[in-house]
Chain A
Amino acid sequence: MHRTGIVIEFENGAIKETSLGVMTAAKGHEIYALVPEANAASVKDKLAEYGAGKIVAISGLETGSPDLQAEMLAAAVKEYGFEALLGTAGTTGKDLFARIGAILDEPLVSDCVAVNIGEKIVKKSHFSGKTLATLKVNSPILLCTLRPNSIDPEKAAAPGEMIEFKTGAVDPGLIKIVDIKKAGEGKLDLTEASVVITGGRGIKAAENYKMLEALAQKIGAAVGASRAAVDAGYAPHSMQVGQTGKTVSPKLYIACGVSGAVQHFAGMKTSKVIVAINEDKDAPIFSKCDYGIIGDIFKIIPALTEKL
């Protein structure tokens, strides 16, 4: 049993699913869920349901200042003597933990896929998913963020005893968030998109990309093309994924009518899940994707779009 703090993240006032997964990662340990005081009451039951022995309601943690948040959490670490502090490796979590690590001057491991709190051993990807590294952290405290969805949340009822914590920290720090711009409409950037749909030579004509764009819009994806499709004039070079085009690493990659040349794989093989749809059962793409459908993209894509 090691005393472990979990930094809980919220979306529209509710606990993010991924934070529950992080609690599950600390199963069997003495879990302290760290939440802003303002949210504490509304999420108390849920946190208890997923294993929070204690819920630390931190006064002012809802502040918009990342430096101040980090100061408060660092203070909580000291206050409660955590042996581990865990969070989610999303944009916010990664930023916050890096700040905490700097304040405490303790080692941090970011974006882990597995954690052993007792041994202070974690596993994480190195080299764009090509290797898995096992790391040992030699420190009184294990600071670690976990890759979203790497651990499925499991219920594990615990007392969920509420503690209030006033840190005394007030310094807003050196940076100031002055505005938040909501996501705009329009096409997503290929290299950063979390879902990419690519049309290959099998798309047969430039105008058929509209079919892919319809699907893309529905699931927040960016649309790419294979070299063969670019070569045939169906798509501009800026859309090319592969050796002489762009490298992408989305969560989901859907290849439509792409044969799957080695050169194409070079640009997308680190995608988390690869789905291929192709008429040709011998297309090389089927040997290297996760899910394959042999069939006509002009029937399957519209059907898929409708179901999503």
Chain B
Amino acid sequence: MKTHARAVIIGGGAIGVSIAYHLSKYGMKDVVLVEKHELTSGSTWMAAGNVSFYHPSYYCTQVNMKSIEIFKQLEKETGQPAGWHTTGSIRTADNKDRMDELGYYYSMNRCLGLDVSFVSPEEIGKLHPLINTRGLMGGLYWPDDGDVDPNSMTQAMAKGARQYGAELNLHTLVTGIEQKPSGEWLVKTDKGDITSEFVVNAAGLWAPQISKMVGIEIPSIAIAHTHILYETIHAVVERNKPLPLVRDPDRSIYLRQEMDSLILGMYEAKGQQWKKEGVPWDYAQQELNPDIDNISDCIEAGIERFPILGDTGFKHVTAGPITYTPNGDPLVGPAAPLKNFFQACGYSFGITQAGGIGHYLAGWIMNGEPEIDLWHVDCRRFGSHANWAYNHEKIADVYPRLYSIFFPNEFRDAARPNKTSPIYEYQKQANAVFGDYYGWECPNYFPPAGEDGYETPSWRRSNAFKHVGNECRHAMNKVGIIDLTRFAKTKISGSGAKAWLNTITCQNVPEKDGIIALSPVLDHNGNFKSDMTVTRINDTEFFCVTASVGKKHDQHWMTLNLPSDGSVLMEDLTYKMGCLVLVGPDSRKVLEKIVYGDVSNGAFKFSTSLEIYVGRTKCRVNRMNYVGELGFEIFHPIEQQIAVYKALMEAGKAFDIKFIGMHAMDSMRLEKGYLAWKSEMNVHHTPLETNVAWTVKIDKDFIGKQGLLKQKKQGIPLKLVCLVVDVKDCDPWGYNPIFKDGARIGMTSSGGYGHRVEKSIALGYVKPEFAEPGTKMEVEILGRSRKATVETMPLYDPKNEKMKS
């Protein structure tokens, strides 16, 4: 076994082997994989092997696409069969909401040019003669989906990895991981130690233990997943072409052909967590005792949909452990706050994604940036609250609902609350309907007392619509208070702080105290890394605010880029400071009543910051907001939040001050053309393509400059536009394909209804030639084409008169 490697991959399942295969294929030397038993002996051996393009995430769909591409060519490349079969797959719907969801997938898939079509119940019956179509409204059909033999595929990749020079060490148990002073990792095993630049944790069932070796707790717990292999079915034998995979999500089941029979799999109501405190190291490829009682509802549902199953015996019932995370998606990418330690674990649909994630993660490791935006699976998307116990509670809700309808406006109740603002109880009293953002309870909207405190999940305008409209109008006409305590807040200080910040953002760091600058953070290619606002406190101290959900991600990036000489200090203030935002034309009047100091427009200009007493509390007040009204972000010591809140409410009483929620804020930011992190601002776009191109100060040096220079030379491939869309009840949401004369010219990045301008709005990227205001095009929403027109941004208060008033 090698003692020095560039990358050590821990785990010889489908995921780990794929990463080893891809790293070595793309030219990395000294790739070493360690597996404590045999390849595939964790979860891979018992996986059903369904592989489809389907995934709720646009980017994960691309991971699946890559998998299928790889699985299809593996045998040709390695000489070892991967066991791929193209069978096609159907996802059925038996209700309108499900049809809407399929409509979303249909349109999102069309952004990627995938072959996907709606099929009627009759067509489903033709594609799968064993199905009983009663009750079905329709379905989606992907003709290129199929299945792969998880073991053959892993072995083929292993062979490929070896051919490209990777070393695969079986029966090698990792016993510890240490970081050397040089920053290199020392992976200790029972067969010797390996020094390595990179470590990838692809340890599947044991990933939590491996992660713990480097001090990181990850939310991943095994659940016994069950599938049933039926005895030989003559109708299957006699048919000489493969039956398509069918997923009937309304029954929480899948069914696919296996040899001359069928496999029925399910996500039952009570997922049985297995060895939740930690899977023993010596577990390997052992079937668990299946619990038929626990899955009988799903089996009955299977018989209802496929009557032949009622008359066919169980040949084998397989139950085996598969990992689950708080939202059913894996944990991938750089582990914060470490350097060169990557996670690739927590997979529940690991076979489907194995090929693709190997490709993308290899690129991420070797190039420093992912080729596609993988935020959806990024291990840093979970905050510190997402520990083992949280996951234990959460997945009890997640597992049975893996097939339930995905809605853009649904926030599930399980394992909540986690993080709350001190004024949480006041928000509750105000009838808040909360959303869950990075573990924070944050009000989405405030229906009047007595109204239903529950938002109906829907792809269309929900019962929240009119309340959100009222909140927007209130912000436009009066004064409102938005709780943004969850903001990620970082203090950057030290003698080198300013110079360093200037390398971190493309914007100039303010030269004067009390000035605020919108300061995009870019990656090495010039694409958006983070959305940051920098407030200069003084020459050596800066207050940086970024999106709440990106906290771990953004602070990780800063940490990795900090100079080693101690000239720049970084302090996390997120959990020390709260933030209440006062917005609306009357906000100054409210503030004036309780501050000690002058907050007039003359004394306190837009985009500046003041340290000032709000009531008894000394606050940092930024004249800045995300909704486009006159407004003040009041940052305060978190322990004094209630004091600040009470002062504001007392002073605001005369002005009819009201809470305003996230939905209203999102609606208003669309009207203002404000970008949202991971919607408009992701690794596929540079500021030059957007309305914040003005923040790019190309004559200074900063991370990403080379990428921007290159793009300036070549011209931007896409341009951000604001579209007004002609719809009645279903607004664009993002990932809607944009067509012009039948040709795909772009995709929306986000959308919604603008209550102040009374229009349905989408932000999106189109080819620059179509970006001129007035250009007509079509946006496809839930499978239906809608008329849209490019409008000048922003739609609301284009001269920013309100903000600056």
- The interface of chain A, by Cβ under 8 A from chain B, is 201, 227-228, 230-232, 237, 243-244, 259, 261-263, 265-266, 280, 282, 284, 287
Q: Give 9 closest A-B pairs by Cβ, nearest first.
A: A261-B151, A262-B38, A237-B259, A262-B285, A262-B41, A282-B162, A263-B151, A262-B45, A231-B83
CA distance A282 to B159 in the complex (A): 8
Interface string of B131-158 (1 = CB under 8 A from A): 0000000000000000001011001001
Mark contacts of B246-266 with chain A using CB atoms, 8 A cut-off: 1 yes-contact digit, 0 otherwise: 000000000000111000000
| B170/A287 in contact, CB under 8 A | yes
Q: Which single residue of chain B is at the shortest CB-CB distance from A242? A: B151
The answer to whether residues A259 and B45 also contact, given A244-B229, A244-B316 and a CB cut-off of 8 A, is no
Distance between Cα atoms of A265 and B259 in the complex (Å): 20
Interface residues, chain B, CB within 8 Å of chain A? Answer: 38-41, 45, 80-81, 83, 149, 151-152, 155, 158-159, 162, 168, 170-171, 229, 258-260, 284-285, 316
For A228, give its contact among B152, B229, B316 (CB under 8 Å).
B152
Question: Chain B nearest CB: distance from A135 CB in Å?
Answer: 26
A262 touching B39 by the CB < 8 A rule? yes
Q: What is the CA–CA distance of A230 and B81 in the complex, to the nearest angstrom?
A: 12
Please, which residues of chain B bring their CB within 8 A of the CB of A230?
259
- Is B159 within 8 A of A280, CB to CB? yes
Contact call B159/A231, Cβ cutoff below 8 A = no
Q: In whole angstroms, how far apart are the Cα atoms of A13 and B158 in the complex?
A: 56
Please, which residues of chain B bring their CB within 8 A of the CB of A282? Answer: 158-159, 162, 168
Residues of chain B within 8 A (CB-CB) of A284 are 38-39, 155, 170
Q: Nearest chain A CB to B152's CB is how many angstroms away? A: 6
Pair B38/A228 contact, Cβ less than 8 Å: no
CB pair A201–B81 under 8 Å, yes or no, is yes
Would you give the shortest CB distance from B21 to chain A, in whole angstroms?
13
Number of A-B residue pairs having CB atoms within 8 Å of each other in the complex: 54
- Taking CB atoms, residues of chain B closer than 8 Å to A262 are 38-41, 45, 151, 284-285
Chain B residues within 8 Å of A265, by CB: 38
Of the candidates A231, A263, A280, A287, which one forms a contact with B81 in the assembled complex, judged by CB atoms under 8 Å apart?
Answer: A231
**Bound Cα distance A134, B80 (Å):** 45
Known: A244-B258, A262-B284. 18 other contacts (CB 8 A): A227-B152, A228-B83, A230-B259, A231-B83, A231-B149, A231-B152, A244-B259, A244-B316, A259-B80, A259-B155, A262-B45, A280-B159, A282-B158, A282-B159, A282-B162, A282-B168, A284-B155, A287-B170
- CB <8 Å contact, B152 and A261: yes
The distance from the CB of A203 to the nearest CB of chain B, in whole angstroms, is: 12
A231 to B146, CA, bound (A): 14
Contact partners of A228 in chain B: CB under 8 A: 81, 83, 149, 152
Taken together as a complex, chains A and B put the C-alpha atoms of A12 and B664 apart, in Å, by: 96
Q: For A232, what are the chain B residues with a Cβ–Cβ distance below 8 Å?
A: 81
Closest residue of A by beta carbon distance from B259: A237
Residues of A within 8 A of B316 (CB): 244
Contacts of A201 in B (CB 8 A): 80-81
A256 and B81 alpha carbons, distance in the complex (Å): 16
**B13–chain A nearest beta-carbon distance, Å:** 11
Closest to B260 in A: A237
Q: CB-CB < 8 A to B284: which residues of A?
A: 262
Docked pose: A228 CA to B84 CA in angstroms: 11
Q: Which residues of A contact B229 (CB under 8 A)?
A: 244
User: Of A227, A261, A280, which contacts B40 at CB under 8 A?
Assistant: A261
CB A255 to nearest CB in B, in angstroms, measures 14
Chain A residues with CB under 8 A of B168 = 282
List residues of chain A with CB within 8 A of the CB of B158: 282
* Cα of A201 to Cα of B81 in the assembled complex, Å: 8
B39 / chain A contacts, CB cutoff of 8 Å: 262, 284
- A4 nearest CB across to chain B (Å): 42
Distance from A219 Cβ to chain B, minimum over Cβ atoms (Å): 29
Interface centre among B39, B155, B171, B285 (most CB of A within 10 A): B155
Return chain A residues, CB-CB under 8 Å to B162.
282
Nearest chain B CB to A243's CB is how many angstroms away? 8
**Which residues in B have their C-beta under 8 angstroms from that of A259?**
80, 155
> In the assembly, what is the distance between CA of A33 and CA of B158, in Å?
58
B148 CB → nearest A CB, Å: 10
The listed residue with most B CB atoms (<10 A of its CB), out of A201, A232, A265, A266, is A201
For the complex, give the distance between the alpha carbons of A259 and B40 in Å.
13
Q: CA separation between A228 and B81, bound complex, in Å?
A: 8
Q: How far is the CB of B73 from chain A (nearest CB, A)?
A: 17
9 A-B contacts, Cβ less than 8 Å apart?
A244-B259, A261-B40, A261-B152, A262-B40, A262-B45, A262-B151, A262-B285, A282-B162, A287-B171
A232 to chain B, nearest CB (A): 6
* Interchain CB contact under 8 A, B155 and A261: yes
Q: How far is the CA of A243 from the CA of B285 in the complex (A)?
A: 11
Q: Which of B158, B171, B259, B260: most chain A CB closer than 10 A?
A: B259
How long is the Cα–Cα vector from A266 to B41 in the complex, in angstroms?
A: 11
B45 cross-chain contacts in A, Cβ below 8 A: 243, 262-263
Q: Taking CB as reference atom, which chain A residue is nearest B84?
A: A231
CA distance A266 to B155 in the complex (A): 16
Interchain CA distance A57-B289 in the complex, whole Å: 54
**What is the bound-complex CA distance between A264 and B171, given in angstroms?**
18
Which A residue sits closest to B150, measured CB to CB? Answer: A263
CB of A193, distance to nearest CB on chain B (Å): 22
**In the assembly, what is the distance between CA of A133 and CA of B599, in Å?**
87
A266 to B285, CA, bound (A): 9
Query: B38 — which chain A residues lie within 8 A by C-beta?
Result: 262, 265, 284, 287
Min CB–CB distance A217 → chain B (angstroms): 28
CB distance from A282 to the nearest CB of B (A): 5
**Cα distance A259–B38 in the bound complex, in angstroms:** 13
Complex Cα–Cα for A133 and B168 (A): 36
Query: How distant is the Cα of A226 from the Cα of B155 in the complex, in angstroms?
Result: 14
- Quote the shortest CB–CB distance from A48 to chain B (angstroms): 51
- Docked Cα-Cα span, A230 to B39, in Å, equals 21
- Given contacts A262-B39, A262-B41, whether A227 and B149 have CB atoms under 8 Å apart is yes
With a cutoff of 8 Å between Cβ atoms, the chain A residues found around residue B151 in the complex are 227, 261-263
- For the complex, give the distance between the alpha carbons of A265 and B81 in Å: 18
Q: How far is the CA of A201 from the CA of B168 in the complex (A)?
A: 22
When chains A and B are docked, how far (Å) is the Cα of A227 from the Cα of B39? 16
A227-B170 Cα distance, complex, nearest whole Å: 22
- Nearest residue, chain A, Cβ from B152: A228
For B161, give the chain A residue with the smallest CB separation: A282
Determine the chain B residues whose CB is within 8 A of the CB of A287 once the complex forms: 38, 170-171
- Give the complex CA separation of A66 and B171 in angstroms: 50
Distance of B708 from chain A, by nearest CB (Å): 46
Q: How far is the CA of A243 from the CA of B258 in the complex (A)?
A: 13
How far, in whole Å, are A262 and B42 apart by their CA atoms in the complex? Answer: 11
Tell me the nearest residue of chain B to A231, going by C-beta. Answer: B83
Collect the chain A residues with CB atoms within 8 Å of residue B260's CB.
Answer: 237
Q: B152: which A residues are within 8 A, CB to CB?
A: 227-228, 231, 261
With a cutoff of 8 Å between Cβ atoms, the chain A residues found around residue B81 in the complex are 201, 228, 231-232
| Separation of A261 and B153 alpha carbons in the complex (Å) | 11
| Chain A residue, CB-CB nearest to B151 | A261
Identify the interface centre among A227, A262, A263, A280: most chain B CB within 10 Å of its CB: A262
Least distance between A225 CB and chain B CB atoms (Å):
12
Which residues from chain A contact B171 at a C-beta distance below 8 Å?
A: 287
Least CB distance from B172 to A in Å reads 12
| A261 CA / B285 CA spacing, docked (Å) | 11
Residue of A nearest to B85 (CB): A231
Q: Which residue of B lies closest to A236 (CB)?
A: B260
Closest Cβ of chain A: how far from B238's Cβ, in Å?
15
CA distance A261 to B229 in the complex (A): 19
- How far, in angstroms, from A154 to B34 measured CA to CA in the complex? 47
Residues in B whose Cβ lies below 8 Å from that of A263: 40, 45, 151
CB distance from B64 to the nearest CB of A (A): 22
Contacts of A243 in B (CB 8 A): 45
Give the Cβ gap from B423 to chain A, nearest Cβ, in Å.
Answer: 55
Smallest Cβ distance from B681 to chain A, in angstroms?
45
Q: Considering only CB atoms, which chain B residue lies closest to A201 in the complex? A: B81
Nearest-CB distance from A34 to chain B (Å)?
A: 46
Q: Which of chain B's residues have a CB closer than 8 A to the CB of A266?
A: 285
Q: How far is the CB of B516 from chain A (nearest CB, A)?
A: 59
